[in-house]
Structure 1
């Protein structure tokens, strides 16, 4: 409304005669818009289309929709509670898990250190065999080192076989008694 008056007293363009425009003018200016309010109501056909659209777009009643939303919210809350409970239980086990990880790391480190010490002892034994300090890249050193390793593996295998045989004999003695 410009200076308390309607923008147009009569239609200036084709769209000024449309029902949508007239509804808009009546909504803004009320009875001053010179629009008959009886013509603005929807027709039976429009009401039928609106009802059909709402039945397709919103097939459930408001109560059913509210119940469905409440169930979804309750389900989501239950999932959150279950997750929080699981986290709380995991926090109780956290210290034990930390200890397990550190124990495994220490065990692995001890194995690496033992293997290195064993290898160093073998290398030192090969050096003592030659009687002087020899370069580990020398062919004679490599050959003797491989021979020593083979001997150690053979000795270990024999010890295992002997232990197995003793175990078998012990179990036979037990079964005979």
Structure 2
């Protein structure tokens, strides 16, 4: 006896989506949404000629709007001429500049006398002065250039004279600088030696080393300076006495003779 086994049911095969299909579907959805938005924006435009056809590039919809304005045409048969005597007329429409504009646009139809459009004598003088200042003739420009060149030459000569004078003083300046430098070094050595002598003097007086910033050290320095001043005064007096004695001896010898 043959037993037939039941056939197994195969599970349903799920459709697989490729990345390219997903990209195409997403791009088409995005393009459709963009197109609907653009159409919603431009649906109020009365004529379809003002809208360019949609351009598909790289999955993106680009909608270009066209606008062809009509050329501005002047109404030569019935031009607009403002009434200057009316209060409703704007101030800038009452000026001579606007009159020139109207005459240039409509000509004699504007009703403006062209003789009134010419500048006055004062305005002509101002125009001539401006032209002389900003647009001088060639001769004046050449004269100005020559004057500037002479001025530059004079400045150069003065600078050369100053440099020559300073170079002549250079040896003396170098000698003075060397002497000052030597004196500064000598003074520095003397100050150092005096400081060491003062420290040694303080050590002898007080039996220990003192800080130069201490009040005891400062008092000692002031006392030493006073003593030195007294000594200098005594030396000056002795010199004066010696000089006076030298001057009195020849006078006394002359009187004795």
TM-score, normalising length from structure 1? 0.54
- Alignment partner of 1:114 is 2:214: no
When residues 171 and 116 of structure 1 are mapped into structure 2, their CA distance, relative to the original with a 3 A threshold, is: farther
Return the alpha-carbon distance in structure 2 between the equivalents of residues 121 and 127 of structure 1. Answer: 10
Q: Partner of 1:133: helix, strand, or coil?
A: coil
- 1:139 is displaced (CA, Å) by 5.9
In the other structure, the counterpart of 1:53 is 127
Query: Unaligned stretches of 5+ in structure 2?
Result: 1-70, 75-100, 106-117
Return the alpha-carbon distance in structure 1 between the equivalents of residues 142 and 128 of structure 2. Answer: 17
In the other structure, the counterpart of 2:167 is 91
Q: Which has the higher helix share?
A: 1
Higher RCO (CA < 8 A, seq sep 6+): 1
Aligned with 2:208 (options 120, 130, 133): 133
When residues 13 and 110 of structure 1 are mapped into structure 2, their CA distance, relative to the original with a 3 A threshold, is: farther
Return the alpha-carbon distance in structure 1 between the equivalents of residues 250 and 73 of structure 2. Answer: 115
Return the alpha-carbon distance in structure 1 between the equivalents of residues 139 and 244 of structure 2. Answer: 78
Return the alpha-carbon distance in structure 2 between the equivalents of residues 166 and 121 of structure 1. Answer: 32
8 Å contact kept, 1:126–1:145: no
TM-score, normalising length from structure 2? 0.40
Return the alpha-carbon distance in structure 2 between the equivalents of residues 126 and 74 of structure 1. Answer: 73
Query: Unaligned stretches of 5+ in structure 1?
Result: 1-10, 20-44
Number of residues of Structure 1 aligned to a counterpart in Structure 2: 140
- 1:135 is displaced (CA, Å) by 2.4
- 1:121 is displaced (CA, Å) by 1.8
Return the alpha-carbon distance in structure 2 between the equivalents of residues 163 and 119 of structure 1. Answer: 30
8 Å contact kept, 2:199–2:209: no
In the other structure, the counterpart of 1:30 is none
8 Å contact kept, 1:122–1:145: yes
In the other structure, the counterpart of 1:160 is 236
